C-alpha cells in the first residue's frame, strides 16, 4: 500500500465518523480551527456556550454524579432518552474540541434509550442498576458493528471480523447501561500520547497544548469534559492511570484477570504468555462511580461465562480496615526524580493524610528501583518474537507517530530480539522485585502504599516518555488507583534547577508549561487486594479533596 493509499483510507474513515454528528450538533469551522493543539487554553466550561445543549441538558451533564442520575432515571425525573441525548451531544462537542472519540454510537444509543424508557414504563422497574447510563469505551474493546482500530490504519474495516461484544460490554448492557462512544488511543496503544493517523491527536481539555496521556487518553479527556461520567480503559504499563494523571480524573488498574478483559481487538499474545497483562479497568469523574463499576461488574454471575480467564472472586463488601491505616510512602525514587510540582504535591498530600485521624505515615527507603523495573516491564512488553506491533504498522505502510518513535529510540529492547534465556531471566528478576515489595509490606505492617503516578504533571505533546511510576505496579501485579489532588503552581514551584525525566529523555521542567496542571497521588497494594485499595482510597479522597468545588 502506498503512502497515498493509507492516507486516503485514513481520511475516509475519519470523514465517515464525522458525518455521524448531526448537523445541529456541529461546531462552526472557525471555532474548531481556533481550538487546536497549539492553543494554550482550557475548554472546560465551553460546552454550554455553543447553543447545542439546552438548559436541561446542561443540568443533566453537569449537575449530578452518575449515581444521582441513575436515581433520577429510576424515579422518572429524567427519561433515559433525555440523559442519552444530553451525553451524546456533549460527547459530540467534546470530540470536535479535543479529538477524544473514534466511533460514535449516537443512533444506536438513542434507540436503546427509547427501549429502556418503554421497559420502565411497561414494567415499573429498571432492567438493572445502570439503567439508562451512557458509558464510554476505549477503542480497543470490541463492539459488534464498529471498528476497533487500535489506531492502526491496517485495522480499518475490521468490524466485519468482530462477531461479538467484548465481555465488559456484554456485562454493561445486562446491567442496563448504554455505550454511546468509543474513545481515542495512540497507534499500537504503547505510547503515552493518544495520537494516530486516523483520528488525530487527543487534546487535554485543561490545556490543549498538553498531552491527555495514553493509551486511554480519549477516555480521560472525554470524562474530564463530562461527555461521559464513567468509562472503561485498559492498562499494561499505566495506560488508564497516565491519562487520569494528565486530565485529573480517577483511574483504577485492577489485579490481573480480576476484571473481564476478553474482547480486546489485539489478542495481545503477551496476555497469555507473560505475567504482564493488558488489564481492563474503570475510569470516572468521581471515586464513587469507579467503586460502583467494580462492585456491579464483579457481582454479575455471567462474568465468568463471557471471559474464560476471569477470576471468579466475589467483591468483598465486608472488608474491615484498621482504625489507623499505615501508609508506606514512596516519596521519590532517586533514579526517577520528581519535578518540582509533583514533589510538592506528594508532600502536601502526605501531610494532609498524616494530620488526619485515619492515617499513620511510614516513609519507605529500601524499595526496588523504578527505573530498573521499567526496563523489566518493557522487556516483557516487547518480548513477542513475531513483533506483531511492527507487522500491523507495516501492513499499511503508515508513518509512525512521533511519540512512538521516541519510545522505540529510548528502549533498546524494542530493537534487540529477546532470547529464551532472557525471558527466563525476566521472570527471575520480576519475582525478586515482587518479593522485595511483599517483604516491605510485611516488615512495616503496611495497609497501603502511596507513590507518585508520574514524576511530572501533564507535559507537552509527545514528551511524556517512559512511565516507571505506573509500570512498577503492572510488573508486580498490584492493583493501583489514581486520585486527583492539587495542581502545579508556578508561583510556588520555582525552577531552581533543571530536572530531567527518567533516562534523561524528552523534557526539562518548565513551570509555565505545567502551570495549573492537575496533581495526583497513587495508591496500591498486594495482588487481589483490590477492595483494600478502593476502600482506603475512599477515605484518602475524603481527607484530600472534600469539600470539592
pLDDT per residue over 167-202, tens digit each? 999 999 999 999 999 999 999 999 999 999 999 999
pLDDT, position 387: 77
The pLDDT tens digits of the residues spanning 77-111 come to 999 999 999 999 999 999 999 999 999 999 999 99
Does 321 fall in a domain? no
* pLDDT reported for residue 3: 60
Q: If you average pLDDT over residues 113-130, what whole number do you get? A: 98
Number of domains in the chain: 2
Asked whether residue 298 falls in the same domain as residue 349, the answer is no
Q: Do both 60 and 202 map to the same domain?
A: yes
314 lies in a domain?
Answer: no
d(CA 169, CA 22): 25
The pLDDT value given to residue 549: 41
Query: How much is the average pLDDT of 386-404?
Result: 88
Q: What is the CATH number of the domain that holds 491?
A: 3.90.1300.10
Average pLDDT over residues 239-259: 98
Last residue of a domain, one of 274, 305, 336: 305
pLDDT digits (tens, 9 = 90+) for 282-317: 999 999 999 999 999 999 999 999 999 999 998 999
Same domain, 244 and 386: no
Domain termination site, one of 270, 305, 340? 305
Residue 290 placed within a domain: yes
**What pLDDT is stored for residue 411 in this prediction?**
66
pTM of the model: 0.96
**pLDDT tier, 1 (very low <50, low <70, confident <90, very high otherwise):** low
- Would you say 282 and 219 are in contact if contact means Cβ atoms under 8 Å apart? no
Please answer whether residues 453 and 238 qualify as being in contact, where contact means their C-beta atoms are separated by less than 8 angstroms.
yes
Nearest to 543 by CA among 362, 359, 291, 346: 359
Residues with catalytic annotation?
A: 138, 215, 239
Q: pLDDT band for 394, please (50, 70, 90 cuts).
A: confident
How many Cα atoms within 13 Å fall on the side-chain side of residue 539? 21
Containing structural domain, residue 293: 8-305
Q: Is 52 labelled a binding residue?
A: no
Q: Are residues 459 and 509 in the same domain?
A: yes
Q: Report residue 418's pLDDT band, with 50, 70 and 90 as the boundaries.
A: confident
Each residue of 514-524: b (16+ CB within 10 Å) or e? bbebbbbbbbb
Contact 488, 519 (CB under 8 A): yes
Q: Assess whether 240 and 358 both reside in one domain.
A: no
**251 assigned to a ligand binding site:** no
Does residue 1 lie in a domain region?
Answer: no
| pLDDT exceeds cutoff 70 at 415 | no
| H or E segment to which residue 390 belongs | helix 388-396
User: 151: phi > 0 → left, psi -120 to 50 → alpha, else beta; which?
Assistant: left
Residue 381 belongs to some domain of the structure: yes
Alpha helices by DSSP H, listed for 49-149, are 55-62, 66-74, 80-98, 106-123
Is 191 annotated as belonging to a binding site? no
Question: Does residue 169 fall inside a structural domain?
Answer: yes
Whether residues 338 and 283 share a domain: the answer is no
Pick the range with the lowest mean pLDDT from 194-203, 357-366, 484-493: 484-493
* Cα gap 351→353, rounded to integer Å: 5
| pLDDT-based confidence at residue 474 (cuts at 50, 70, 90) | very high
CB 11: neighbour CB atoms within 10 A?
12
What is the share, in percent, of the chain residues with pLDDT greater than 70? 94
> Average pLDDT over the chain, rounded to whole?
93
Instruction: Among 305, 340, 372, give the residue marking a domain's end.
Output: 305
378, 413 Cβ separation under 8 angstroms = yes
Calpha distance 471→422 (Å, rounded): 19
Q: Pairing state of beta strands 448-451 and 230-235? A: unpaired
Range 527-533 average pLDDT: 98
Q: Is 236 annotated as a binding residue?
A: yes
Q: Do both 448 and 524 map to the same domain?
A: yes
Query: Taking 50 as the threshold, does the pLDDT of residue 505 lie above it?
Result: no
By C-alpha distance, which of 399, 395, 396 is closest to 5? 396
Looking at the fold, whether 253 and 336 belong to one and the same domain comes out as: no
| 429 marked ligand binding residue | no
Q: Are residues 291 and 172 in the same domain?
A: yes
Say yes or no to pLDDT of 528 above 90: yes
Whole-number Å distance between alpha carbons of 134 and 3: 38
Q: How far apart are CA 410 and CA 468, in angstroms?
A: 13
Q: What percent of the chain has pLDDT over 90?
A: 84
**Could you give the CA distance from residue 398 to residue 391 in angstroms, rounded to a whole number?**
11
Are 361 and 272 part of one and the same domain? no
Distance separating the N- and C-terminal Cα atoms of the chain = 52
193 φ, ψ (degrees, to nearest 5): -135, 110
Least confident range from 31-35, 480-484, 504-508: namely: 504-508
d(CA 55, CA 492): 39
Q: Is residue 111 part of a domain?
A: yes
Residues 300 and 347 in one domain: no
- The answer on 340 and 230 residing in a single domain is no
CA distances from 389 to 4, 152, 360, 407, 486 (A): 22, 9, 45, 13, 37
With respect to residue 105, please indicate whether it lies within any of the assigned structural domains: yes
Amino acid at each position: 500500500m502506498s503512502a497515498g493509499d493509507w492516507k486516503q483510507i485514513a481520511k475516509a474513515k475519519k470523514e465517515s465518523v464525522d458525518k455521524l454528528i448531526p448537523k445541529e450538533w456541529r461546531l462552526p469551522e472557525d471555532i474548531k480551527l481556533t481550538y487546536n493543539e497549539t492553543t494554550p487554553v482550557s475548554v472546560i466550561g465551553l460546552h454550554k456556550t455553543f447553543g447545542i445543549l439546552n438548559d436541561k441538558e446542561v443540568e443533566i451533564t453537569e449537575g449530578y454524579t452518575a449515581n444521582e442520575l441513575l436515581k433520577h432515571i429510576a424515579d422518572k425525573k429524567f427519561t433515559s432518552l433525555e440523559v442519552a441525548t444530553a451525553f451524546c451531544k456533549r460527547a459530540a462537542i467534546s470530540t470536535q474540541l479535543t479529538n477524544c472519540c473514534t466511533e460514535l454510537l449516537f443512533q444506536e444509543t438513542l434507540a436503546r434509550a427509547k427501549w429502556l424508557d418503554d421497559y420502565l414504563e411497561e414494567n415499573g422497574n429498571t432492567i438493572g442498576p445502570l439503567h439508562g447510563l451512557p458509558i464510554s469505551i476505549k477503542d480497543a474493546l470490541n463492539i459488534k458493528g464498529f471498528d476497533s482500530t487500535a489506531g492502526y490504519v491496517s485495522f480499518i474495516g475490521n468490524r466485519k471480523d468482530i462477531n461479538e461484544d467484548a465481555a465488559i460490554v456484554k456485562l454493561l448492557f445486562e446491567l442496563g447501561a448504554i455505550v454511546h462512544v468509543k474513545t481515542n488511543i495512540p497507534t499500537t496503544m504503547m505510547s503515552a500520547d493518544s495520537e494516530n493517523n486516523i483520528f488525530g491527536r487527543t487534546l487535554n481539555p485543561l490545556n490543549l497544548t498538553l498531552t491527555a496521556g495514553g493509551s486511554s487518553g480519549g477516555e480521560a479527556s472525554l470524562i474530564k469534559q463530562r461527555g461521559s461520567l464513567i468509562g472503561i480503559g485498559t492498562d499494561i504499563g499505566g495506560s488508564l492511570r497516565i491519562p487520569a494523571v494528565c486530565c485529573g480524573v480517577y483511574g483504577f488498574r485492577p489485579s490481573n484477570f480480576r476484571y473481564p478483559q476478553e474482547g480486546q481487538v489485539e489478542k495481545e499474545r503477551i496476555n497469555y504468555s507473560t505475567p504482564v497483562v493488558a488489564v481492563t479497568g474503570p475510569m470516572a469523574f468521581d471515586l464513587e462511580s469507579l467503586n460502583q463499576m467494580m462492585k456491579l461488574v464483579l457481582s454479575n454471575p455471567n462474568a465468568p461465562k463471557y471471559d474464560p480467564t476471569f477470576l471468579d472472586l466475589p467483591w468483598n463488601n465486608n472488608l474491615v480496615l484498621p482504625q489507623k491505616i499505615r501508609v508506606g510512602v514512596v516519596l521519590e525514587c532517586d533514579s526517577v526524580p520528581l519535578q518540582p510540582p509533583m514533589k510538592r504535591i506528594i508532600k502536601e498530600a502526605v501531610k494532609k493524610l498524616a494530620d488526619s485521624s485515619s492515617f499513620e505515615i511510614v516513609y519507605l527507603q529500601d524499595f526496588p528501583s523504578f527505573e530498573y523495573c521499567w526496563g523489566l516491564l518493557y522487556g516483557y512488553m516487547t518480548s513477542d518474537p513475531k513483533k506483531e506491533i511492527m507487522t500491523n504498522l507495516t501492513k499499511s505502510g503508515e508513518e509512525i507517530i512521533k511519540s512512538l518513535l521516541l519510545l522505540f529510540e529510548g528502549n533498546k529492547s524494542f530493537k534487540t530480539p529477546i532470547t529464551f534465556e532472557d525471558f527466563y531471566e525476566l521472570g527471575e528478576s520480576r519475582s525478586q522485585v515482587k518479593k522485595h515489595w511483599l517483604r516491605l509490606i510485611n516488615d512495616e505492617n503496611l495497609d497501603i502504599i502511596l507513590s507518585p503516578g508520574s514524576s511530572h504533571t501533564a507535559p507537552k505533546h509527545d514528551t511524556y516518555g517512559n512511565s516507571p511510576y505506573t509500570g512498577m505496579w503492572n510488573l508486580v501485579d498490584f492493583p493501583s488507583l489514581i486520585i486527583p489532588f492539587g495542581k502545579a503552581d508556578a508561583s510556588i514551584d520555582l525552577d531552581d534547577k533543571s530536572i530531567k525525566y527518567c533516562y534523561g529523555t524528552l523534557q526539562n521542567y518548565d513551570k509555565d508549561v505545567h502551570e495549573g496542571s492537575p496533581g495526583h497521588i497513587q495508591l496500591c497494594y498486594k495482588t487481589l487486594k483490590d477492595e483494600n485499595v478502593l476502600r482506603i482510597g475512599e477515605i484518602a479522597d475524603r481527607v484530600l479533596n472534600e469539600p470539592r468545588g
